[in-house]
Amino acid sequence: MTRLSVNINKVATLRNARGGNVPDVQKVAIDCERFGAEGITVHPRPDERHIRYSDVYLLKKLVTTEFNIEGYPSEEFIKLVLEVQPEQVTLVPDPPDALTSNAGWRVKENIGFLKETIARFHEKNIRTSIFVETDIDNMFMAKESGTDRVELYTEPYAANFPKNPESAITDFVKAAEAANKVGLGLNAGHDLSLENLEYFVKNIPGLLEVSIGHALISDALYFGLENTIQMYRRKISNT
């Protein structure tokens, strides 16, 4: 079954808005696991506007499911990941000032850099995933990079889903089939929600993990965190 990893960046954003430690990011991570999350995702950025590097070190001691650290592989980020040694690192091509992840890697253009970076993580037995769009060549080049998994960037799917779900998912199915064919593990994330998650999981072959943050944390304001996580898990299990 597809695993649900909860991205807790937005919790840290709320905390940082006032200073102090409310809401408590560490407690939220523990609670997410207690309520049924099968992983915790964080995406520290250089300006630390949400998750801070210090949070990452603290969370490593607490997370008992899968700990997934996302980010652009700057030297500072690579050092953090190598020291923390999470179960998974997800490499994204964000520039430092990006508001949120908004594109996947052009794998062919960055193949040398990705190969070198992935090899460094593999030396510490850290599973790697790279953030990609649905171009089929990306899947074949991703295999060349040495990565263990790819994470499909699902914002285009989410944007088009309300108009035509079948059309919205077509390219993602083809990309998933290509990833499966070359032996890559398959993750997905960005703008997945209660409205579009079930259809996505049902139609994507070999989907191992979804990482969901903004929509899930927003839904928790209305439904409560425990109930929300269970609602997302039911959307996955209905498939």
Residues labelled as active-site residues: 43, 70, 190
* Helices 136-145, 165-182: crossing angle, 10 deg rounding: 30
Q: Which of 64, 90, 58 is nearest to 77 (CA)?
A: 90
3-state SS of 121-187 is HHCCCCEEEEEECCCHHHHHHHHHHCCCEEEEECHHHHHHCCCCHHHHHHHHHHHHHHHHHHCCEEE
d(CA 203, CA 157): 12
d(CA 211, CA 131): 12
Burial of 95 (0-12, 13-18, 19+ CB in 10 A): exposed
Coil, strand or helix: which one is 67? strand
Cβ neighbours, 10 Å, residue 232: 24
Beta bridge partners of 144: none
